[in-house]
Structure 1
Amino acid sequence: MTIFTLDEVEKTFTNGEIEENILKGISLSLKEGEITALVGTSGSGKSTLLTIAAGLQPASNGEVLFDGNNLTTMSDEQVRKVRAKEFGFVFQFAHLVPFLTVEEQLMLMLEVSGSTLSKKEQKNEVDQVLDVIGMEHRKNAYPSSLSGGEKQRVAVARAIIHKPKVLFADEPTASLDSKRSKDMMELIRYLTKKMNITTLMVTHDEEMLSYVDRILQMSDGMVLENE
């Protein structure tokens, strides 16, 4: 089932009197339970497309449609609420809060997303997710004591703890070695399928493409291939 659609999305930046077209009328649809990878050289528009889809910046033209809602016509506050409740984010670096434990990182995400669960129920949710990612024994650890791979696993747990419908991942394996990168992609794929999430990922690592369902090749602000 299609849950996310971009229709003729354009993005233009103005530098003085010069206009630069970063995205040139991109249209695509994303389905539940699928991982779609955006690939291409630096400057091709991958991260710009991801941030527009995620409501982190507006499109210059076109529409972003999510689950029956048009994000491009919503107010900033309405989009913020959709992001907090329905979207999850994983970036190149984990960006964990240094003074919060692993458990507290996830509890904070539940609070931000507007969870109506009781504190006891939230703690149970956290325990279940940490068990899935193999980090239950580190629930009381602070980021400074975690390895790079552990930090990224916690970042993934934080991104999906509130059961989002869409996961946005921008170079999630770029800071990891080969083994940890494969572990990370196995985790993202497992969670995408288990939770029926729509996952949109930017990556430069061709070895990670074996874990995705679709590959969108981008060049000069356009999608060239849809596999």
Structure 2
Amino acid sequence: MIFSTSNIKKSFTTGEVSEEILKGVDLTLAEGEITALVGSSGSGKSTLLTIAAGLQTPSSGEIHFDGQDLGALSPEKTRQIRAESFGFVFQSSHLVPFLTAEEQLLLMLETAGSPLSTKQQRQEVEKILDEVGMGHRKSAYPASMSGGEKQRIAIARAIVHQPKILFADEPTASLDSTKSREVMELLQKLTKTLNIATLMVTHEEDLLTYADRVLTMKDGRLA
């Protein structure tokens, strides 16, 4: 397993009231697999995903990635690992409105510290855009794209730097059923061909057929 969490707990305090959201979660992710995380609202599934992705810190517990205990690393090293090895797709595409599709991906390569030359980066971007069926839209801005096109660009941006882990939080929630299936087919294909470990939070039961494993969160624990 390339990624695991051990006894992850998370509490939030409001005034004098403390609420435990995660109550000791052990999670493993394997390369080339989509792991779907489901559960009712408030069960802790999105909190678990954001902690696993390093977007917030747990109250206690350990997170291991590629043989490293992320909690034992400096914040700078952790940020570097997240930039280089993790990819993110959310319900909203979060595309930069004044950048073209091509520029969105080039910015991601720059952020990830890509060692490729400028020419090689453009070649890689073209290849990934073709892979997600958006090569013909490389010069398009987000305002001219449909919801499905934006999400395809968001997925391309998330994988252009060849991450080892992809975190997807409700990636199809803003799409209709047809576009949702198209996006899930794309995620499934990329997970397999690029050997990515994908963790996806979803509430759409129809999409669970695309997952290799389905885990259910209930009251802060994996049921």
Superposed CA deviations along residues 136-195 of structure 1, whole A, max 9, x for unmatched, are: 110000000000000000000000000000000000000000000000000000000000
Deviation of 1:75 (Å): 2.2
Q: How far, CA to CA, are the matches of 2:219 and 2:23 in structure 1? A: 8
The code of the aligned residue for 1:180 comes to K
Q: Please identify, of 198-207 and 70-79, the stretch whose mean Cα deviation from structure 2 is larger.
A: 70-79
In 2, Cα distance between equivalents of 1:111 and 1:28: 31
**Equivalent position of 1:191 in the other structure:** 190
Q: CA deviation at 1:29?
A: 1.1
Q: TM-score, normalised by structure 1?
A: 0.97
- After superposition, what is the alpha-carbon deviation per residue over 1:19-69, rounded to whole angstroms, capped at 9, x for unaligned? 111000011211111000110001000010001000111111110000011
Give 1:120's aligned residue.
119
1:16, distance to aligned residue in structure 2 (A)? 1.6
The percentage of aligned residue pairs carrying the same residue is: 64
Q: Which whole-Å CA distance do the structure 1 matches of 2:71 and 2:19 have between them?
A: 21
Aligned CA RMSD, in angstroms, stands at 0.6
Q: Which residue of 1 aligns with 2:146?
A: 147
Q: For residue 42 of structure 1, what is the amino acid of its counterpart?
A: S
- In the other structure, the counterpart of 2:157 is 158
One-letter amino acid of the structure 2 residue matched with residue 75 of structure 1: S
Deviation (angstroms), 1:15: 1.3
Offset at residue 74 of structure 1 (A): 2.0
- Counterparts of residues 46-65 of structure 1 (less than 5 Å): 46-65=45-64
Gaps of 5+ in 1: none
Look up the match of 2:44. Answer: 45
Deviations 1:60-106 (A, max 9, x none): 11100000111122222221111100000000010000000000000
Which deviations, in whole Å up to 9, do the C-alpha atoms of 1:193-227 show, x marking residues without a partner? 00000000000000010000001101110000xxx
2:70 is equivalent to residue 71 of structure 1 = yes
**How do residues 1-227 of structure 1 correspond to structure 2 at under 5 angstroms?**
2-224=1-223
Cα distance in structure 2, aligned partners of 1:210 and 1:193:
15
Q: Please, which runs of 5 or more residues in structure 2 have no aligned partner?
A: none
